[in-house]
Structure 1
């Protein structure tokens, strides 16, 4: 991928799951082995999660871009344990995506670029065939996806937005105890993420990709 060429024209989307009434746990996710103990308790290296036992699932979808942050969409999964399938993604996300993409495109066109949209490899997105409902809808409405390997490392900057929200929720004095309270709390924290901070994430992506290649985490064709 030529990241310096496409970084500012990407609409980066993803889903995230929150659990109500779970037991708190700290999970270290970005610790640098060369810094040893100095990053052991660094807030930037810790993501707060909830164990899944006896919890209510809250699924949310969002997208970010340079100069843009989408409205947050909550997805009600119809599969076991609240997971969502292709028809859920189509009805609750894709069919509401057109105004979101149009708003993002207005910003990107001013930069002289063509907007691209990025989704991960979740099976609910329908990337494995061109005949499923999601693929057909994207094709019909001209949604251009960024092509990337299915097994590539997850370098989507929106992951850091989800971590921002989870850390903010963990710091709250009163934790959400119902699905409605969790949705409201997540929405408040999503809206509190500064656009300037998101822009810096996207502009720094070139550096992250370069470092990843240097560490042989992603091989490039000869």
Structure 2
């Protein structure tokens, strides 16, 4: 036997497990995996995790290979995005501060989700988890007024959301860069660039990152702050 790092997972109670099992059984033969279903989520990326560089022998002390570490924290960027079999939203970079319900409604639901739902038309379904800003009264009221249906989602189930694969791809892509981002702005720029690249590959309409990720999962910023609507349906 050898020492191994344990797999990291969320804390699940018996109630959580029962809810996840019920969800899986209910959707095991689901046929709605089309562009009408938008999977969304937020994710935080930190500068401190960009700790690998590609260099030649003797270049250890080169400026481009030195990760400047702030003892009080290197900074982080929170982003929001949505994917479906038919397209994706823009990657929205959340400026400093926490994501409260009003902010979620005004920066994400109104300028990004609403126009996407309008482009899809009847049958649009929003997937969001049960984070407090998502299920707050003001957000639920907004969705109801706009006629946007939200999917019932089991608690403590981030692993059921296929967008988690996208976050993982983005994280690994950032880490593999020859020069890691040194500032929060550089990290935000890099995340937007990677988001655009992985979801605009030629294979994305068949077995690429977005459709392939959605299918596999259910068989098992702008750099500057902006709320301008942007989405692709392909």
Q: CA deviation at 1:23?
A: 4.7
Higher relative contact order (CA 8 A, sep 6+): 2
1:1-222 alignment to 2 at 5 Å? 1-3=26-28, 4-8=30-34, 9-20=36-47, 22-24=48-50, 54-78=73-97, 83-96=98-111, 97-103=113-119, 105=120, 114-125=123-134, 127=135, 132-152=137-157, 154-193=159-198, 194=201, 195=204, 196-208=208-220
2: CA distance, partners of 1:23 / 1:71: 24
Per-residue CA deviation, residues 152-175 of structure 1 (Å, 9 max, x unaligned), is 463111000000100000000111
Unmatched segments (≥5 aa) in structure 1: 27-49, 209-222
Q: CA deviation at 1:187?
A: 0.5
1: CA distance, partners of 2:196 / 2:158: 27
1: CA distance, partners of 2:44 / 2:78: 5
1: CA distance, partners of 2:216 / 2:175: 26
Give aligned pairs, total. Answer: 169
Give the TM-score taking structure 2 as reference length: 0.65
Q: Which moved more, 1:151-160 or 1:60-69?
A: 151-160
Give the TM-score taking structure 1 as reference length: 0.68
Q: CA deviation at 1:204?
A: 2.4
Q: CA deviation at 1:52?
A: 10
Q: Which moved more, 1:195-204 or 1:62-71?
A: 195-204
Decide whether aligned partners of structure 1 residues 164 and 51 sit closer, same or farther in structure 2, where only a CA change above 3 A counts: farther
